[in-house]
Amino acid sequence: MARLAYRTIRFVRSVGGQTDKCVVTRGGVTYDLDLGEGIDFAIYLGNIFERETRRALSELVAPSATVLDVGANVGAHTLHLAQCVGPRGQVLAFEPTEFAFRKLSRNLELNPALAARITAYHCFLAAQDNVEVPTAIYSSWPLSSAAAEGATDEALHPKHLGQAMKTLTAQSRSLDSVLAEQGNPRVQLVKLDVDGFECQILRGAKTLLQESRPIFVMEFAPYVLDERGASLEELVSHFGPLGYRFYHERTKALLPSSPEDLRQLVGDGASINVIARADR
């Protein structure tokens, strides 16, 4: 459906002499978009990219807070988080692929007032500093046949249809290491969407989890965890001992705490967005 809508709008724009490239303002944020990219196209269509996640962040982020956007991509949530925290808050954003980090940097340039609240890291978050970085990570969801700069020669992912993009210049860091450099601020919320690398990141965030116990807005996608050699069981194990409970992002309904029961809620090749918060 997205590809059909894209072809229709591309035709209409071409009749008027317009290309896929455009600069638009949505929700008070200015973006430099390539409509041949799925995320960009959703922003163009009335800022509908992950609308429920955007709503949840608006409800959960406290003014003046320190929050993290892990898997920032083009900055759709990064810039919204900067709006939420206000001029006295700060956002730390992390993106490992050159493709998406370049787009993120451009969108920060277009929004200088919001960019002043954001520190962007071109790095791959891992269990510790200076480990090997994967050569490519999915960060593009193409709608056109033209390959984006930085794309690998691999076919699209068979389930989520993402395109793997290169990470040649990204260094590896742990979250605890980055936060220590920042003076160990108390983190109020973490948006976490990293294509199956969640467990590696959480292994390097033990101090964050134990001392800040932030709210997490995150994706449960068992199939991509399995692809990375991790599991939903391991992901849940980082939260349970600290008193976290899981809630459906849209309905706010309490979800099961066991991985077995959670798996029953998610079909093969699918995912659900959840809120994880410590209730004790």
- Residue boundaries of the structural domains of the chain: 49-278
- ∠ at Cα 271 (220, 73), nearest 5°? 80
**pLDDT of res. 280:** 64
- Reading the block at residue 248, the tokens are 């459906």
CA distances from 106 to 90, 103, 119 (A): 19, 5, 14
Distant-in-sequence contacts of 21-28, Cβ < 8 A, 24+ apart:
23/110, 27/80, 27/83, 28/83
pLDDT of 144: 86
Topology of domain 49-278, per CATH?
Answer: Rossmann fold (3.40.50)
Q: Quick one: which of 274, 127, 101 has its CA closest to 201?
A: 127
SS3 assignment for 198-231:
HHHHHHCCHHHHHHHCCEEEEEECHHHHHHCCCC
Residues 107 and 39 sit within 8 Å (Cβ to Cβ): no
- Alpha helix (H) ranges present in the chain? 2-15, 38-44, 51-60, 76-85, 98-109, 112-115, 175-181, 198-203, 206-207, 222-227, 232-237, 259-263
Mean pLDDT, 10 residues at a time, the chain of 280 residues? 92 95 97 97 96 98 98 98 98 98 98 98 97 96 83 89 96 98 97 96 98 97 95 96 96 95 90 91
Read off the pTM.
Answer: 0.95
Coil, helix or strand at residue 48 = coil
Burial of 28 (0-12, 13-18, 19+ CB in 10 A): exposed
Give me the pLDDT at residue 153, please: 83
CB 159 within 8 A of CB 185: no
Q: Are 6 and 35 in contact (CB under 8 A)?
A: yes
